[in-house]
């Protein structure tokens, strides 16, 4: 059974933090689905991922292409990812359900701690997942480095 890791972004934006987490997931050999709520935002993120240093390139694609099933990292708005991921990274309040947590290696929920609505939604997701018996960890970067602040 997997676990849900909540990442409270307060110092570094999504476009900095997400590639670090994706790199760690890929190093573990995992296929990843990055689940967002808006196609336009995922296109923006796709562009950001292409701009990184060549030695840190993360092979990825936007859902809807001819090779979705072969993508190591698939950016999607759907709860059904064609690349059969080991890990789902939820951004911008994309929903995650307890059954997913149990069926994956990991679910990561990244949320903007400077946005009250995002913070409220993340708290609701935490309560929903832990209330259903999912293992969860809460990580904060408020001190300047990532620290685990809670575990359920």
Which architecture characterizes domain 22-151 according to CATH? 3-Layer(aba) Sandwich (3.40)
Range list of H helices, 13-82: 14-27, 39-50
CB contact burial 124-148 (16+ within 10 A = b; e otherwise): ebbeebbeeebebbbbbbeeeebee
pLDDT for 55 equals: 77
- Mark the ranges of the chain whose per-residue pLDDT is less than 50: none
pLDDT for 5 equals: 98
- Residue-range domain boundaries for the chain: 22-151
pLDDT for 1 equals: 67
């Amino acid at each position: 059974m997997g676990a849900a890791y909540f990442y409270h972004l307060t110092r570094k934006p999504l476009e900095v933090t997400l590639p670090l987490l994706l790199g760690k997931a890929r190093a573990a050999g995992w296929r990843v689905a990055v689940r967002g709520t808006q196609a336009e935002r995922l296109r923006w993120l796709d562009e950001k991922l292409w701009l990184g240093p060549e030695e840190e390139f993360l092979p990825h694609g936007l859902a809807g292409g001819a090779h979705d099933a072969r993508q190591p990292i698939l950016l999607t708005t759907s709860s059904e990812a064609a690349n059969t991921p080991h890990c789902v990274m939820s951004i911008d309040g994309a929903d995650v359900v307890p059954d997913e947590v149990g069926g994956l290696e990991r679910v990561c929920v990244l949320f903007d701690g400077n946005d009250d609505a995002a913070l409220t939604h993340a708290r609701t997701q935490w309560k929903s997942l832990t209330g259903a018996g999912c293992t969860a960890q809460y990580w904060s970067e408020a001190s300047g480095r990532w620290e685990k602040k809670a575990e359920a």
